[in-house]
A and B are shown apart, each in its own frame.
Chain A
Amino acid sequence: MSAISQAARASRSGAGGQTLTWPRWVAAVIAVAPTILWGAASIGLFAGIWEVLWAVGWADAKLLPPPHIFIGNIADQAKFFNTVNRWQIGAGQGGVPSSAAAVFYTILATTGRVFAGLVIASTLAVTIGVAIRYFRVFGRLTLPTITLLAPVSPIAWLPVAIFLFGIGNGPAVFMVVIALLFHMVLATINQIDNVNRNLINVARTMGASKRQTYMRVIVPAILPQLFVVLRFNLFAAWMVVLVAEATGVGYGLGQVIMLARNTFNPSLVFFTIALIGVLGFLFDFAMRLAQRKLLYWVPQGTAVLRGL
């Protein structure tokens, strides 16, 4: 038995047992420790290679500044995040926000757009996808167009976003929605078509109406896979939100990258990339937690693979 499950068991058996018992948080820490250690090792490995390349003089500090340089002077980088000021967010505390606050608000703005886009896109996609299969005529009328639009790069929608929403949060959120919507509608339909026939037949023999069959069987049955599709599309959401911001429809991390490009500031570029990486990771982590809570019936993790 592994130390982890022993710890978990010890924490579950609780106080009062004769055996050695560990507090719950110790067990929790021990449970996630390997993940954290491997993560640190992985990042450390690549950062280390980079640092070595710099130390031996192969990586030019002006073009490819290694981590200790671009992370080292956070205060220096953070002043560029003041683009936030233009939009009056966080500017209430007397003029220009502090550097840290500026970074925080910029991150908040970008993350908020991604999140809003994900929520809107997945709600719309499931609704449209289900409607396409539920109402025959609606499906016949909309599906060809959706299939046609799905392969169009979301970047192509950028002008439309600006025509429709001007500047600000609107176009950025719109871009995220557009990037996900068509694919997720198609994924929803595909999932509906692949719902286990027997589950549907059980519902039908129990006297379920079409509406009940959809609400009680088909929708819950497709949710787990759609969540996976959503997670896989997270990177697309991040990509378009940065593009939208970079083209000046708002402020945010994309804007900062653009600024870094225009002022030729590689340190700022890598600092922002690091931020985006961490954010993306946290986002995915949060979605996995949400998945565990919302889709409690889906088997978790890679335990089976580990046994190989």
Chain B
Amino acid sequence: MRPISSRNAVVCRDVAKVWAPGTPRAHEALRGIDLDIAPGEFVVLLGPSGCGKSTLLYLIAGLEDATGGGLWSFGDPVEKPSPERSLIFQEASLFPWLTVGQNVAFGLSIAGRPPAERAEIARQTLQRVGLSEAIDKRPDELSGGMRQRVAVARALAMQPKVLLMDEPFAALDVQTRAKMQDFLLDVWRVSGASVMFVTHHIDEAVALADRVVVFTARPGRIKTIVKVDLPRPRDPFSPEAEALRRHLTAQLQDEVDRAFAEQEALVAS
């Protein structure tokens, strides 16, 4: 794949993904995805379960190969994983045998940076996420929200240009999630990175997104892209937010119904 002239943080052109292609278990997850993410943009992906949102993040991260189309990041084709594009999962997925500080410094130590520099960056990054005191703790001594913040810190330590977040706050309670959203917006503003954020919560999309991408049921295609022009910090009860929520709910509902019908048909057959 050749470089392209677009300097966008992520460029997807007609991306397709079939799992286990050419086998009886072949499974089409994504079809014809065209998507451009500008540098510093915050994009939320919404869609019914199983429509391929996680798959798309894996492709952009370079962890899986697309079976059609092409992906680029800042002009260069995505061929393998890169510290420039960090993936954050629903579970914090911290290394349990490392301390919080060592977890944050993991990527730096992989890159062979000297210990003093690693320690300093880990300290600064943890400070940014408000967890300075936890530096010598073990992950299982932390709450779920704290762990997720450590995971964000671990990604930030690599100074990524694209943060790929797969339902990162889904396992948290409502209050913690609201806090984490504020925290993420702060981090995002300072870092200048682009964020691609998968969620099932329309409220979360309304609170965070510059643009919301709504996917169809499987195979996932882009159904619509909604631009959100509300100033931050956003009032979730403003009439505009309310209208946006209603619009997104309607868009999503059809697809969720279709996804369910398909699943029922699958079970019946």
Contact = CB atoms under 8 A, between A and B. Distances in A.
The answer to whether A and B come from one shared complex is yes
Interface of A: 196, 198-199, 201-208, 212, 216-217, 220-221, 295-299
A207 B81 contact: yes
Given A205-B82, A205-B83, A220-B97, A198 B106 contact: no
A205 B110 contact: no
Interface in B81-98: 81-83, 85-87, 89, 91, 93, 95-97
A192 to B, nearest CB: 16
B93 A205 contact: no
- Please name the 3 residue pairs, one residue from A and one from B, whose CB atoms are nearest each other, closest first: A206-B107, A198-B93, A297-B97
Contact of A212 (B82, B89, B91, B110): B110
Nearest to B111: A207
A217 B95 CA distance: 8
B140 interface: yes
Interface string B107-134: 1001100000000000000000000000
A297 B110 contact: no
Contacts of B63: 201, 204-205
From B87, B97, B107, B140, residue with most partner A Cβ within 10 Å = B97
Contacts of B87: 201-202, 205
A273 B138 CA distance: 43
Given A205-B62, A205-B83, A208-B110, 4 more contacts: A198-B93, A203-B106, A216-B110, A297-B138
A57 to B, nearest CB: 57
A202 B93 contact: yes
Contacts of A298: 96
Given A201-B63, A216-B110, A299-B140, A207 B93 contact: no
A297 B140 contact: yes
Contact of A206 (B89, B91, B96, B110): B110
B83 A207 contact: yes
B165 interface: no
Contacts of B97: 220-221, 295-297
A297 B138 CA distance: 7
B158 interface: yes
Contacts, number: 60
Nearest to A202: B93
Nearest to A196: B93
Interface of B: 61-63, 81-83, 85-87, 89, 91, 93, 95-97, 106-107, 110-111, 138, 140, 154, 158
B53 to A, nearest CB: 16
A299 B138 CA distance: 11
B93 A204 contact: no
Nearest to A205: B81
A201 B91 CA distance: 13
Contacts of A208: 110
B260 to A, nearest CB: 27
A205 B96 contact: no
27 contacts: A196-B93, A198-B89, A198-B91, A199-B95, A201-B63, A201-B89, A202-B93, A202-B154, A203-B106, A204-B63, A205-B63, A205-B85, A205-B86, A205-B87, A206-B81, A206-B83, A206-B106, A206-B107, A206-B158, A207-B82, A207-B107, A212-B110, A216-B110, A220-B95, A296-B97, A296-B138, A297-B140
User: Of residues B61, B81, B91, B140, which shows the largest number of chain A Cβ atoms within 10 Å of its Cβ?
Assistant: B81
Nearest to B58: A201
Given A198-B89, A216-B110, A204 B81 contact: yes
Nearest to B166: A198
B109 to A, nearest CB: 8
In this complex, the member of A201, A221, A298 whose beta carbon has the largest number of chain B beta carbons within 10 angstroms is A201
B110 A203 contact: yes
Contacts of B85: 205
A198 B95 CA distance: 10
A220 B103 CA distance: 14
A223 to B, nearest CB: 8
B190 to A, nearest CB: 21
Nearest to B87: A205
